[in-house]
Amino acid sequence: MERTGLAEFLRSRRESLRPEDVGVVAGARRRVRGLRREEVAQLAAMSVDYYSRLERGSGSEPSTSMLDALARVFRLSLDERDHLYRLAGHNAPDRVSGTSHVSPALLRVLDNLSATPAFVVSDIAEPLAQNSLAVALFGDWSRFSGDDRSGIHRWFTRPDSERAVYPPEDRERQGRSLVASLRIAVTRRGANSAAARLARELERSSPEFARLWADHDVAHRFEDHKVLVHPEVGTIRFDCQALFSEDQSQTLVVLSVHPRGAEAEKLRLLSVLGSTRFTSVTTADRDDER
């Protein structure tokens, strides 16, 4: 761990960001350049004291999950992320086998989307970032771990909970879409990748997945329209747009409605309700894991 180099790199990245780059309200009397240390700590979900010690060169070696969080906060490129890992005493992650690093270009777009649900996922539907409305609509995907981090895995192994947001008549199409996109990920990543292991595991455990996998559909499919169901707000009809990273490994999905009319009213109500209904769901999930 190169403590001095790490401290200088973190400080330079913090000072180079503007508050508005990460959705922070600057305020009229702001005097510091870039972000404050407490703002970085809050965005990265770590203590202010620990982050401050890292910048002073006196902190203990950060975990890879902490480094991933800092890379997201600072909007680091892959080269910068790899540099951060090495300064902290870790090997840089394999870029081919999938990563929790979020494309800075996609994050910049996501940062400016507060009035409509939007999220970034990997090519095997692992959550990389969600805005507050996406959390209110789907729940906080960051609570999942292991194989369940993949939305594809949850679709076929937790159908009762995972498919509830989709009306019954749309579930076959959504399942086919997930399988078709997974086949692209397997081809791109290779036979020894996490994507290939996921496909093999689901072939064994889910007859439904095996049936769809045997059709050899290959496509990035994001319908022009999505119908989603919220237990308090009801059915919302969205227009769906997808923006891919340059290497096609990550996707920003934006769900929008017409600014006037019933759908917009439902979306405004959803923003007020927030994610309160998922508190009991998260607690139940944790109870199941004990």
pLDDT digits over 245-288, tens only?
Answer: 877 788 999 999 888 888 889 988 888 887 555 444 444 444 44
Structure tokens at 126: 């692992």
State the pLDDT at residue 217: 82
205 vs 248, which has greater pLDDT? 205
pLDDT for 288 equals: 45
Q: State the pLDDT at residue 199.
A: 95
pLDDT at position 72: 84
**What tokens were used for 24?**
């922070």
- Give the whole-angstrom CA distance, residue 139 versus residue 134: 7
Look up residue 195 and give its DSSP letter: H
User: Given a cut of 70, is residue 28 above it in pLDDT?
Assistant: no
3-class SS of residue 142: helix
Residue of 15, 224, 243 lying closest to 107 (CA atoms): 243
Confidence of residue 23 (pLDDT cuts 50, 70, 90): low
Tell which residue, 281, 285, 267, 177, has the closest CA to residue 230: 267
Rounded Cα–Cα distance for residues 238 and 223 (Å): 10
Q: Which of 30-34, 90-94, 269-273 has the lowest mean pLDDT?
A: 30-34
Sign of the C-alpha dihedral, residues 193, 196, 198, 204?
A: negative
Tell me the mean pLDDT in the region 93-97: 61
Residue with tokens 């929008």: 256
Residue 116: closest CA among 239, 22, 220, 14: 239
> What is the torsional sign of CA 76, 78, 83, 87?
positive
Quickly state the pLDDT bin for 237 (edges 50, 70, 90).
very high
- Residue 169 clears pLDDT 90, i.e. is over it: yes
Residue 190 in this model has a pLDDT that exceeds 90: no
pLDDT band at residue 25 under the 50/70/90 scheme: low
pLDDT at 62 over 80: yes
Average pLDDT over every residue of 162-166: 93
For residue 156, pLDDT over 80 is answered with yes
- Cα distance between residue 86 and residue 71, in whole Å: 13
What integer pLDDT is reported at residue 216 of this predicted model? 87
Output the pLDDT for position 175: 93
Mean pLDDT confidence for 160-165: 93
**H-helix or E-strand containing 77?**
none
